Structure 1
């Protein structure tokens, strides 16, 4: 799928990639969701399916937080307060820890909720607000949303498909 360049394409990309991701997530036996054999977000690390969901929730929540702070004219720490762009592996670990005590059904509901809130956010913006002006450095808000939602959804789906094949099931 091409990189979205307008509001409609962004909504389609998120909905499409999320729908495909949910099919993969729902096909995984619950007893395998805590097993740490999935390729991690930092080189040489492994994670569980639950960690992967925590990661997706974490980035979605950050998108919502960035927008909320920006709308209130507050300082937005990107990617997150206490983290630099070259520390995304540490940020992934934080996301895993943030949700370590939640079960699979809770994580699925949270991911659904986060995705829905992002779609509501997009719907509340004009195409110009999403793609007509720079939001962070050279990136538009639409591009920042895409980089942290639809693209990771597609990546997560591919990771899960590869992992499922390695585990011997489809």
Structure 2
């Protein structure tokens, strides 16, 4: 997994990868937001919903812990070894919005995350056991939780969206 020199480098990478990811949705028409293509595991709307779900979950964990609450991860009623239901809840919660609305919501959530990260000390971000919700057997520092739910999928999901767009155009041509 990638490491970062400091929080500014992490924030810059999140913004860079997010901008590239978001740009992939520019040419996807609203009428195709829920089009499922067999070779790609998520529709465009599900792809955005997944990202909205995880970014907002991390922000929620932080808010709850800072409010003195015990945070149940990944979310109340869900277990780490059975995330399919959680993903489905993301699709239901955010899938009712247009692609443009989902993109705007994700931009706002990413901005909020970057603003929050800027307030953290290097110790809080890069040393393990700084947040109860992030303290697991793996003893990951907070930045790893952020990385695997922002930079990594923003990078990896671009490939999926590109493949979806290519196959969608191919299917469109066959149907004409």
Partner of 1:4: 4
Partner of 2:166: 165
Q: Offset at 1:5?
A: 5.0
Alignment size in residue pairs? 163
Q: Offset at 1:115?
A: 0.6
Distance change (3 Å), C-alpha of 1:147 and 1:74: same
- What is the SS of the residue equivalent to 1:85? coil
RMSD of Structure 2 on Structure 1 (CA): 1.8
Matching of residue 124 in structure 1 with residue 119 in structure 2: yes
Task: Tell me if the contact between 1:5 and 1:131 (Cα under 8 Å) persists in the aligned partners.
Answer: no
Partner of 1:97: 92
Partner of 1:30: 30
Superposed CA deviations along residues 82-131 of structure 1, whole A, max 9, x for unmatched, are 10111112111110011232112211111111111100110111111111
Partner of 1:43: none
Larger Rg: 2
State how 1:9-158 maps to structure 2 within 5 Å. Answer: 9-37=9-37, 39-40=40-41, 47-134=42-129, 135=131, 136-137=135-136, 138-158=139-159
TM-score of the aligned structures, taking structure 1 as reference length: 0.87
Task: Tell me if the contact between 1:33 and 1:49 (Cα under 8 Å) persists in the aligned partners.
Answer: yes
With 13-22 and 29-38 compared, the bigger mean Cα shift is at 29-38
Q: Offset at 1:73?
A: 2.5
Task: Tell me if the contact between 1:4 and 1:13 (Cα under 8 Å) persists in the aligned partners.
Answer: no
Distance change (3 Å), C-alpha of 1:35 and 1:15: same
Partner of 1:44: none
More strand by share: 1
Superposed CA deviations along residues 14-39 of structure 1, whole A, max 9, x for unmatched, are 01110110111113233222212262
Q: Give unmatched runs, 5+ long, in structure 2.
A: 171-176
TM-score of the aligned structures, taking structure 2 as reference length: 0.84
Residues of 2 paired with 1:4 and 1:94: CA distance? 32
